[in-house]
Amino acid sequence: MSYISFYDDGELRAYLFEQELNFLQASLFMLLQSIDKYAQQNGNHAGVKISNSKLAKELGVTQRSITTHLSKLQELGFIKISFDRSNSTNTKRYIKPVKLVKFGIESQISGIIGYINKLLNSTLDNLDELDNTDLETRNKIKQAIFHFGSDTALINYINSHHDEFTNYENVQDWLSDFSTP
């Protein structure tokens, strides 16, 4: 699977805002992600073990605010919180930020072609499929992704017009709408 990670903080922050996180939630997630990355580099893969008071001090907010925003991040699936209760006198909380990745356009194109080919192959009398190495086909799929705004929106379109994508000629006709001039 080909993907690229969010390399710069500005790109990650923009993504988090697109997911409707507020400034503090985005900052908290990014702080947890940085601490987790450091911990992993030093052999700790369990997650971040840090108190709400330390997080609050780092971000200049109250502990209550940290509690509220940790709950929201967990609810939205950005972090996972677990507890180690193996020692009855000392419960440890671990916060694990989920790994966020975004798929590059080439990976998206390959995924769409594979998805369409799966639909084409579901019809027994259909012998043809899209060539994943054909630059013209890849360019048309790329234009279709841009037209629909995302690979997810394109998949949703394909799913709602399923019958059009079980015949190779129909797929070719549909792709001709996305030829570059």
pLDDT band at 3 (very low <50, low <70, confident <90, very high): very low
Domain ranges of the chain: 4-101, 104-176
CA distances from 105 to 53, 125, 142, 152, 157 (A): 41, 32, 7, 12, 18
pLDDT score, position 14: 78
- In this predicted structure, the answer to whether residue 101 has a pLDDT above a threshold of 80 is no
- In this predicted structure, the answer to whether residue 56 has a pLDDT above a threshold of 80 is yes
- In this predicted structure, the answer to whether residue 31 has a pLDDT above a threshold of 90 is yes
pLDDT score, position 150: 82
> How large is the average pLDDT for residues 136-141?
92
**Exposed (0-12), middle (13-18) or buried (19+): which is 65, by Cβ within 10 Å?**
middle
Is pLDDT larger for residue 25 or for residue 109? Answer: 25
**Exposed (0-12), middle (13-18) or buried (19+): which is 60, by Cβ within 10 Å?**
exposed
Measured from the Cβ of residue 79, the count of other Cβ atoms closer than 10 Å reads 22
The phi-psi region of residue 149 (left if phi > 0; otherwise alpha if psi is between -120 and 50; otherwise beta) is left
Side-chain half-sphere of 130: how many Cα atoms within 13 Å? 29
User: What's the CATH number of domain 4-101, 3.40.50.150, 1.10.10.10, 1.10.730.10, 3.40.1280.10?
Assistant: 1.10.10.10
pLDDT score, position 2: 34
Helical H runs in the chain? 9-18, 23-41, 52-59, 63-75, 105-121, 135-148, 151-160, 168-176
pLDDT score, position 4: 39
